[in-house]
Amino acid sequence: MARLPPAATQLLPLRRSPLFGRDAERAQLEGIVPQARLLTLTGAPGSGKTRLALEVSERLAPRFRDGVHVAELAAPLPAPVSVATSVGAALGIEDTAGRGAEAAIAEALTEAELLLVLDDCGHVAGAAGELAHHLLERCPQVRVLATSQVPLGVPGEQVWDVPALDVEPAVELFLDRAGLAGGDSRVDGPRGSPVEQICRRLDGLPLAVELAAAWAGEHSLGELDGLLAAAVPGHQTMEATVDWSYGLLGPAEQQLLDRLSVFTRGFVLHAAEHVAAMGDVPGLLGALVEHSLVLAVRASELTVRDMTEFCPLLDGPDGPMRYHLAEPVRRRAAEGLADQGAEGATRRRHAEYFLEVARHCDVGLRGEYPGHVLFGLGQYEGNLRSALAWARRHHRDLGLELCIALAHFWELRGRV
């Protein structure tokens, strides 16, 4: 019988700024989520659905005996990985009986009392909805909180639209991030100031506001307003803002961001250096973080220590730090990588890097504390899956080596 492992360590974006303008929404959701079987937060890209969901989940975690588990579904799932398989991996649940990932998850969660967060389901809404509906029928104490641009469309679903920020909190967010970027963090003068105009122009979308504010150290507020007026039309605000911010990067920064788009659900500095294969990756990565195009994520100190003991490739001078790209940014960077004609070479280096990770960790899996390594390596399963999927199609020998290196990992996870 499949069992639920201990709650996975939560990986949350570093709190570089407080959550602005969401007190009312947060309070409402803290009352709704424990009662709703399935609640879907909907809204435009960049509206802050994920941040709000994680904030609420963190506050509610003590109320769920088996904790909060987060399955990130933003990046494209490599064939033949299903939504259920991906969610099972996030939960640490494997299909040991060969009945399918959906059945294995339901069996493991039958008596569980937990909150499952399905993040960024928009592109897989149908499959995510089917899984959620199955869990609602089989697992009476499980609550599902989803984020998506569209409802999942299943019986019992409650839909809660995440609004854009009002002007005042949007201005507060802009000024906070502008101050971090070395820009002016004050607003003087009457209403209709450049900051207010910028926030209105960006429709109050938090991610768009943060991307714009990240350039306040290099441009005056008036200059930023003028640049955005020319770059951001009255529709597709988020995509236009990402494209605008991307265009302000230097060539080397663009090249690094493009190459980072091959990672799935996070990477460490050493991985970025190997896969990007270019000079001064730490400096360029720092610039991308400063401009909010790459998000810094703090991993568990314990997990990092356990993993780096067996796999030095996962260690680094920046400590227990992982990085990831917000999905609108990742999509733009992937377009840039395709335009470079460098996707094949970059994905090969990605597969080679994670082959070495798998080989190092295989030694740890056969050692005294395999459970630590099993959990830690599972945090990189998205990258392992995408590396294997690419190698199967484009480099069979490399794919075979990956299969061999991961065989014991899969055996311990009940995959073989």
Please write the tens of the pLDDT for every residue from 356-376. Answer: 999 988 887 787 767 777 777
Place of tokens 């499949």: 2
Answer yes or no: is pLDDT of 2 > 80: no
Domain boundary among 146, 161, 176: 161
Q: Is residue 19 domain-resident?
A: yes
Residues 234 and 262 in one domain: no
The SS3 of residue 196 is: helix
Higher per-residue confidence, 76 vs 102: 102
* Predicted confidence band of residue 196 (pLDDT cuts 50, 70, 90): very high
Answer yes or no: is pLDDT of 249 > 70: yes
Q: Is residue 4 domain-resident?
A: no
Residues 123 and 77 in one domain: yes
Distance CA 206, CA 198 (A): 12
Residues 257 and 403 in one domain: yes
Residues 255 and 236 in one domain: no
Residues 155 and 178 in one domain: no
- Residue 287, token pair as written in the block: 């610039």
From the list 149, 202, 148, the residue with the least C-alpha distance to 173 is 202
Domain boundary among 161, 180, 210: 161
What type of residue sits at position 387?
A: A
The region, left, alpha or beta by phi > 0 then psi within -120 to 50, assigned to residue 13 is beta
Residues 146 and 21 in one domain: yes
Q: Is residue 398 domain-resident?
A: yes
Answer yes or no: is pLDDT of 205 > 90: yes
Taking residues 231-257, what's their average pLDDT?
A: 91
**CB within 8 Å of 95: residues ≥ 6 apart:** 2, 85, 88, 101, 103, 104, 414, 415
Taking residues 196-221, what's their average pLDDT?
A: 93
Taking residues 292-315, what's their average pLDDT?
A: 61
CA contacts within 13 A on the Cβ side of 213: 28
Residues 221 and 352 in one domain: no
Q: Computed from CA positions of residues 32, 18, 333, 163, in that sequence, does the dihedral angle turn out positive or negative?
A: positive
Domain boundary among 134, 161, 188: 161
Q: Is residue 276 domain-resident?
A: yes
Residues 243 and 306 in one domain: no
What are the two backbone dihedrals, phi and then psi, of residue 21, each rounded to the nearest 5 degrees? 70, 20
The SS3 of residue 276 is: helix
Q: Is residue 364 domain-resident?
A: yes
DSSP state for residue 296 in the 8-state scheme = E
- Residue 190, token pair as written in the block: 């009457």
Taking residues 127-151, what's their average pLDDT?
A: 94
Residues 277 and 392 in one domain: yes
> How high does pLDDT run on average in the chain?
85
Number of compact structural domains in the chain:
3
Please report, rounded to a whole number, the percentage of residues in the chain having pLDDT higher than 90. 56
Q: Is residue 82 domain-resident?
A: yes
* Predicted confidence band of residue 192 (pLDDT cuts 50, 70, 90): low
Residues 175 and 269 in one domain: no
pLDDT at position 166 is 94
pLDDT at position 416 is 46
Helices 237-248, 206-213: crossing angle, 10 deg rounding: 20
* Predicted confidence band of residue 89 (pLDDT cuts 50, 70, 90): confident
From the list 46, 389, 40, 16, the residue with the least C-alpha distance to 242 is 46
Q: Is residue 30 domain-resident?
A: yes
Distance CA 194, CA 201 (A): 10
DSSP for 24-54? Answer: HHHHHHHHHTTT-SEEEEE--TTSSHHHHHH
Give the residue numbers spanning the domain of 114: 12-161
Residues 148 and 267 in one domain: no
Place of tokens 């494997």: 94
Residues 103 and 224 in one domain: no
pLDDT at position 301 is 45
Q: How many CB atoms lie within 10 A of CB 312?
A: 12
